[in-house]
């Protein structure tokens, strides 16, 4: 994306007729925030800025630029996530994954703060964890972790067995997400599992309408499990809901049928190799316990 901005242009009254994801007809705006219209598609359960705005973003003009000013506002929240809920998402993913995890990738890692948090909690597994960021903050704000990579997924050598993508895809148009998933498939081992933490459509509708924030935080597209399946499926991923979580889903590369139960039930049959990663010789079993409890906590 470039540093250009369209924040001064009102889109109220603009009437796109087709969903930018599935091309079904959409009606009046679902909401207008800071002069930008969001439309909700009933056919694929997707909420997004208007098609014309997403087209402009794909051409390089975004409502929010990921520059130094963005990172100055974002780093505090990123640090809080990295040392809190992001650790829980990583722990869960390791327990859900049905293949041994030898390399774990944090996609859109920002300053790499999650790598630092994982290295502190799981020092014996430090080399397992990698992070990649296409639009990094200033150098002084970045981690010194050896596995911090600046660039795109296509720049990395695979394979990876698991990963996280936390508060990223709400910033991406359907074309951008399709490219990310295509590149992720190219570096994923069969059976690789990735947790995507993002406010889903039910979260926006029932818990936090302010998550629609095109200018301040750059949230332009709100996904659902159904919407994500349209993008991930053609690239070989199976998208699984996570019971009780309106802000996350799991994408499994080459995943087979679920059978009985849910992904969250896998915590009881987690692979010993992955459990061992979470039970560090120096810091103990706190992340193993965190993964189990976090997987169970939201199930109602």
CATH of the domain at 138: 3.40.50.150
Cα-based angle 51, 197, 61 (whole degrees, multiple of 5): 30
The answer to the question of residue 46 being in a domain is: no
Q: Does 34 map to a domain?
A: no
Calpha distance 147→22 (Å, rounded): 37
Whole-prediction pTM value? Answer: 0.90
Answer whether residue 213 is part of any domain: yes
Collapsed DSSP state (helix, strand, coil) of residue 230: helix
Question: pLDDT 10s digit of each residue in the chain, 300 long?
Answer: 333 333 333 344 444 478 999 999 998 999 999 999 999 999 999 999 999 899 999 998 776 666 677 777 778 888 999 999 999 999 999 999 999 999 999 999 999 999 999 999 999 999 999 999 998 998 999 999 999 999 999 999 999 999 999 999 999 999 999 999 999 999 999 999 999 999 999 999 999 999 999 998 899 999 999 999 999 999 999 999 998 999 999 999 997 666 667 898 999 999 999 999 999 999 999 999 999 999 998 876
> Is residue 170 one of the residues assigned to a domain?
yes
* Six token digits for residue 46: 């997707």
The Cα-based distances of 235 to 80, 134, 151 in angstroms read 33, 21, 21
Neighbours of 251 (CB within 10 A): 27
Residue 51 inside a domain? The answer is no
Residue 135, domain member (yes or no): yes
| Structural domain includes residue 58 | no
Sorted by sequence, the CB contacts under 8 Å of residue 72 that are 6+ apart come out as none
The whole domain housing 125 covers: 66-297
Structural domain contains residue 139 = yes
Q: How many domains does the chain have?
A: 1
């Amino acid at each position: 994306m470039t540093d250009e901005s369209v924040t001064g242009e009102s889109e109220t009254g603009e009437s796109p007729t087709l969903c930018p994801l599935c091309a079904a007809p959409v009606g009046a705006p679902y909401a207008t925030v800071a002069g930008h219209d969001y439309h909700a598609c009933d056919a694929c359960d997707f909420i997004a800025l208007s098609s014309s705005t997403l087209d402009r973003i794909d051409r390089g003009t975004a409502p929010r630029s990921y520059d130094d000013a963005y990172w100055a506002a974002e780093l505090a929240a990123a640090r809080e996530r990295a040392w809190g809920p992001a650790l829980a998402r990583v722990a869960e993913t390791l327990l859900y994954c049905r293949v041994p995890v030898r390399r774990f990738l944090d996609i859109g890692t920002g300053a790499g703060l999650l790598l630092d948090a994982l290295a502190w909690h799981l020092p014996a597994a430090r080399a397992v964890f990698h992070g990649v960021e296409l639009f990094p903050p200033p150098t002084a704000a970045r981690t010194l972790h050896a596995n911090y990579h600046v660039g795109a997924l296509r720049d990395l050598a695979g394979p990876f067995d698991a990963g996280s993508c936390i508060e990223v895809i709400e910033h991406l148009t359907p074309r951008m997400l399709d490219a990310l998933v295509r590149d992720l498939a190219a570096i994923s081992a069969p059976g690789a599992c990735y947790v995507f933490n993002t406010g889903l459509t039910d979260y926006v509708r029932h818990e936090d309408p302010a998550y629609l924030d095109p200018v301040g935080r750059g949230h332009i597209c709100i996904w659902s499990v159904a919407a994500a399946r349209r993008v991930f499926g053609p690239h070989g991923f199976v998208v699984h809901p996570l019971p009780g979580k309106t802000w996350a889903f799991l994408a499994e590369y080459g995943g087979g049928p679920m059978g009985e139960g849910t992904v969250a039930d896998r915590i009881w049959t987690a692979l010993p190799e992955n459990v061992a990663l979470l039970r560090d010789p120096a810091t103990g079993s706190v992340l193993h316990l965190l993964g189990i409890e976090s997987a169970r906590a939201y199930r109602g």
